[in-house]
Structure 1
């Protein structure tokens, strides 16, 4: 009611350590890092990190009640502790979907809650489209359908109008003659045989996202966006996926799958001022999938660690523990 104080926002659950880790060979070339945390007898959930190429962070475990969830997570191909580092060969959306299935089968899980934000939402939706019978529920943040319009908005012209200062730094890594196609210009440099050139480009590419990820803007740049090892994998793998349209059959393929997912419980937290994955994608998905619950956070951008996003995601995982179709 008018004048009532809103309830306090939920915070992350306390920090926990993984109780089991493993390096899982998924092809002749790739080995991925997999970890488990929380309650070994709890509701299974898989947490899918962003990027692509972002790797896991310890905070991902903290969106789940560790007494109620068995939390599985992995560094996707080419990033984090997975090997080989920053490798682009045998690295597609469908390779990652197959890896998720290998993990599910290896650990004897029938169905699980799938959790992901940004690129993690893309991968979650792609996995659900291929294996809907294995998904007990979806908890998503910052919906990214990997359409050309979304790539153009962030990497060519759109977010640049909101963060012209940060975009200028991104643009300066590319000669003026090549700025009509930043994606292609960066691809040439990120796949160069010259390591120094690759890292220079990776720093600029990653910093642009790091400076726009929070509603606070460039001042909130996460520290790992200054680490060469992180940015090399992050920039190379992101650009590789975006150059290839996410390896989807058509530009709107993920959105086209929505009607097939309507029986899966789904909750989405979307920052109103998300510059990286603007709200239109979540809105478009909701139009195709009326049953999903879309919560718009009116004082948040893209970062999963902004207070309103944390609150919504923690409430969503609690809700899934209570109500998902196990």
Structure 2
């Protein structure tokens, strides 16, 4: 969807930080109609964070949209923290946010990694879900991970060559482990190039048609 097809830019009518255990505080905001139909937006990544464009997915005359940055992401603190940052804890963060905002049930809207988290939340707390809206579904199954790391070279050979080429040939049998080792390295000279190449690869392979933007 082109940005011109989204709803107009909008500012939150409420925002804050919620302490969720350990070192983590998550940023949250609400946009749209305060007494509208509640809908929760779950961003991708993990770690991508939400951005102002995501507010524009929802008709502000109808929806009370809740948007938050998951642990370690975006405006949540501490940024990039992986300690106490697991899927079950993210699920409970969602539930803590629902209770804080006094919402009985809500629509859960997630894309990519957000679709995985939405399903995990709905399985754990079905009583809190009115409906699920899932897009760009990625469920972190082995088959999907293998396709992303290796199979996709049949469609995007040039992008894959750059992605794999950052890793020494001896480590290319497990690109996930090789990139994880570099991304978790504390030296910016190691983790920043790996992060840029990973992000560029993921972005280039996210659509079959080039984006006009």
Fold match, TM over 0.5?
A: yes
Tell me if 1:194 matches 2:181.
Answer: no
Q: Structure 1 CA distance, aligned partners of 2:83 and 2:202?
A: 24
Gaps of 5+ in 1: 1-9, 223-326
Gaps of 5+ in 2: none
Match of 2:207 among 186, 209, 214: 214
Match of 1:148 among 142, 149, 173: 142
Tell me if 1:166 matches 2:159.
Answer: yes
Match of 1:179 in 2: 172
TM-superposed deviation, 1:193:
2.6
Match of 1:300 in 2: none
Tell me if 1:88 matches 2:82.
Answer: yes
- SS of 2:173's partner is coil
When residues 80 and 121 of structure 1 are mapped into structure 2, their CA distance, relative to the original with a 3 A threshold, is same
Match of 1:25 in 2: 19
Match of 2:49 in 1: 55
Please state which structure has a larger fraction of its residues in strand.
2
When residues 120 and 17 of structure 1 are mapped into structure 2, their CA distance, relative to the original with a 3 A threshold, is same
Q: Give the TM-score normalised by structure 1.
A: 0.62
Q: Structure 2 CA distance, aligned partners of 1:11 and 1:202?
A: 30
Match of 2:92 in 1: 98
Tell me if 1:12 matches 2:10.
Answer: no
Structure 1 contact 211–221 (Cα < 8 Å) conserved? no
Match of 1:75 in 2: 69
TM-superposed deviation, 1:107:
0.6
Match of 2:197 among 199, 204, 208: 204
TM-superposed deviation, 1:221:
9.5
Tell me if 1:117 matches 2:111.
Answer: yes
TM-superposed deviation, 1:39:
0.6
- SS of 1:160's partner is helix
- RMSD over equivalenced CA pairs, Å: 1.5
Q: Structure 2 CA distance, aligned partners of 1:150 and 1:51?
A: 15
Moved over 2 A (4+): 214-217
Q: Give the TM-score normalised by structure 2.
A: 0.94
Match of 2:133 among 130, 139, 156: 139
Q: Structure 1 CA distance, aligned partners of 2:166 and 2:81?
A: 23
Structure 1 contact 46–113 (Cα < 8 Å) conserved? yes
For CA contacts below 8 A with separation 6 or more, give which structure has more relative contact order: 1
When residues 221 and 65 of structure 1 are mapped into structure 2, their CA distance, relative to the original with a 3 A threshold, is closer
- SS of 1:36's partner is strand
Structure 2 contact 22–84 (Cα < 8 Å) conserved? no
